[in-house]
Structure 1
Amino acid sequence: MDPWTELAERQAGALAWRQLHELGVTRSLVRNKLASGRWARRTESVLTTTTGPLSDEQRHWVAVLHCGPDAMLGGLTALGLHGLSRWERDEVCVIVRNADSFEPVDGISLFRTRRRPAVLRGEHDLPRCRVEPAALLWAAHEPHPRSASGLLAAVVQQGLTTPERLLTWVDILRPLRRAGAFRELLHDIEGGAQSLGEVDVARLCRTWGLVAPHRQRCRVDRSGRQRFTDCEWDLPDGRVLVLEVDGAFHLDVEQYTDDVRRQRGLTTPERSVIRCTTEELRREPWSVGADLVALGVPRVAAPAAG
């Protein structure tokens, strides 16, 4: 068996020139493979033992191998491999050390860091960043704070990590941009918020001095189906007010139909169900707050003097 065969199998057919040199493969053999069309050059430092279009796995290997032995997949690329959905991007994100130098390649975005690679890297054949630092570093450098917060909520909501682990990594990664905002957000999520919309409701309640809602209460609708409500308040008169927060995906016709049916099935003489959108919470929170007050949500009692 050729010395490069086993390595190529582990790396989806991608090989770096430095690896071939370490294995004792001669340049003349490589040139013959390329000239005969059995291998293909993908970057100045990486080739593949296949010649067709690259699979996603091969694109990831080519990107990591091109950027050197300490490189690893990071950001949304790493999180996608860990199981994050609905945050896909075309570019492959690679974390590299500040001092490393190599030719830029289309389709590869670099994140440079002074942090030690061994601290960030998880235990995988394809080098990739751990979930927590991948999410926090991406969020810290994302230009739009709303998207940064949305990602941290998503990795928790989709079960990739927990608020406690993310809070631990906020300290490990010090200094970290937006660390204070991330701690506040993660404490809200730790308190039961399952989405960024629910976090916005918690922030709205603090601003308006309203009692914090119960989150993700289990209810059974009239058809017998188990439902979890976004936010609920037990009102002083014995009634219950439910607030359902609709994100952009709720605009889908099938989802909207299910939402309407859900609202109808959860409404009873003692339980009212109202809805708002994440866009309202972000741009017009005063409107939602005024409606909650008008519908009877109590304010937090002021502390007694002295």
Structure 2
Amino acid sequence: MTETWQDLAARQEGVLSRATLARLGVSRSFVRNQLRARRWSQRTHSVLTTTTGPLSREQLQWVGVAHAGPTAMVGGLTAAGRHGLAGWHRETVTVLVDDELSFDAVDGIRFVRTRRSPLLLRSPRPGLPTCRLEPALLMFAADEAHERTALGAVVAGVQQRLTTAERLAEWTRLLRPLRRAPRIREVLGDVGNGSHSMGEVDVARLCRAWGIVPPRRQTRRRDRSGRVRFTDAEWDLPDGRTLVLEVDGEVHLDLMAYGSDVRRQRRLTTPSRVVIRCTTHELRREPLEVVSDLLALGVPRIAA
């Protein structure tokens, strides 16, 4: 059965390229009449929609891919979001292209060129052409200006159980050369050993740098109210007590979140379990302060 423009429009959120319409045998005069009657809208010089009014986010992604050509696909955090990554939304849509030609700017869309094979990158999922999750995260991490944001997205993919540290490590090899690859592999090693956030990765890095025994991570505990908690880092001290370090990120600056964290700390504390806290800022900018306090509380160094 021959596909019609109506079939394609239904599958692509009403987004059609002029080249595709011509391939389907739709005449220029028919297209021109639809535009004049304002039943359709011109979105770029080469892309139309069979709807009018503001574009939905799904339509914007289709417009970007249709505008950039048959090998284009959504990538970066846009693709990661389509694979289920939560908490990393960006308004601007990222579209990967392998064409060396220039593209007209499109509001709300960022075109990123890559020399990597579209066949390697593209997800087999039907529908909107989308980059696989692992290369989408890693290529974002390589391109992002701020290293902590870059690495945080990679960690989030594992923490949210969308991928594994092993799969991401393998993709760092497939994507060579990849900017920040050594740092990404280091972080993936920590994630593979139990780190679930960049704060926990910072703790592991601090322990290596200062020769401190690495902690247990994400230990399951039940607090006095009966609620199950997972602690960031724990050490067994020589005197038989357990030291728990909880790492506060930026979200903890919120007053309600702070109150919840204080209550959590209080309910996890027992006569044999000491709970202390630090901030991600301290781990990155004032590590000696944290190290000094950990050693003073009895955390052992690695034996020489």
Query: Is the TM value for this pair above 0.5?
Result: yes
Indicate the residue corresponding to 1:272 in structure 2.
274
What CA deviation, in whole Å up to 9, does each residue of 1:231-290 have, x standing for no partner? Answer: 000001100000000111112222212111110111011100000111111111111111
Indicate the residue corresponding to 1:16 in structure 2.
17
**Distance in 1 between residues matched to 2:298 and 2:210, nearest whole Å:** 13
**Bigger mean CA deviation after superposition, 95-104 or 168-177:** 95-104
2:217 match: secondary structure? strand
Q: Which runs of 4+ in 1 moved over 4 A?
A: none
Indicate the residue corresponding to 1:64 in structure 2.
65
Question: What amino acid is the match of 1:281?
Answer: L
What CA deviation, in whole Å up to 9, does each residue of 1:158-201 have, x standing for no partner? Answer: 22211011001000001111111111110011000000000000
**Distance in 1 between residues matched to 2:277 and 2:109, nearest whole Å:** 41
Indicate the residue corresponding to 2:86 in structure 1.
85
Decide which of 217, 222, 243 is 1:215's aligned counterpart: 217
**Distance in 2 between residues matched to 1:18 and 1:188, nearest whole Å:** 48
2:145 match: secondary structure? coil
Decide which of 197, 201, 215 is 1:195's aligned counterpart: 197
Kindly state the Cα deviation for residue 151 of structure 1 after the two structures are TM-superposed.
Answer: 1.1
Question: What amino acid is the match of 2:214?
Answer: A
Indicate the residue corresponding to 2:292 in structure 1.
290
Shift in CA distance, 233/186, structure 1 to aligned 2, threshold 3 Å? same
Q: Does 1:281 align with 2:283?
A: yes
Q: Does 1:99 align with 2:100?
A: yes
1:63 match: secondary structure? helix
**Distance in 1 between residues matched to 2:131 and 2:282, nearest whole Å:** 35
Kindly state the Cα deviation for residue 2 of structure 1 after the two structures are TM-superposed.
Answer: 8.7
Q: Does 1:35 align with 2:36?
A: yes
Decide which of 226, 236, 239 is 2:238's aligned counterpart: 236
Q: Does 1:53 align with 2:50?
A: no
Indicate the residue corresponding to 2:174 in structure 1.
172
Shift in CA distance, 17/268, structure 1 to aligned 2, threshold 3 Å? same
Indicate the residue corresponding to 1:146 in structure 2.
148
TM-score using structure 1 length: 0.96
TM-score using structure 2 length: 0.97
Kindly state the Cα deviation for residue 141 of structure 1 after the two structures are TM-superposed.
Answer: 1.3
**Distance in 1 between residues matched to 2:272 and 2:132, nearest whole Å:** 47
**Unaligned stretches of 5+ residues in structure 2:** none
**Unaligned stretches of 5+ residues in structure 1:** none
**Distance in 2 between residues matched to 1:154 and 1:249, nearest whole Å:** 15
Query: What percentage of aligned pairs have identical amino acids?
Result: 62
What CA deviation, in whole Å up to 9, does each residue of 1:73-132 have, x standing for no partner? Answer: 001111111111222112110000042443222221111111110100002310110110
2:233 match: secondary structure? strand
Q: Does 1:255 align with 2:257?
A: yes
1:214 match: secondary structure? coil
Indicate the residue corresponding to 2:130 in structure 1.
128
Backbone CA RMSD of aligned residues: 1.2
Shift in CA distance, 35/2, structure 1 to aligned 2, threshold 3 Å? farther
**Distance in 2 between residues matched to 1:150 and 1:2, nearest whole Å:** 43
**Bigger mean CA deviation after superposition, 245-254 or 190-199:** 245-254
Q: Number of residue pairs matched? A: 302
Question: What amino acid is the match of 1:38?
Answer: R
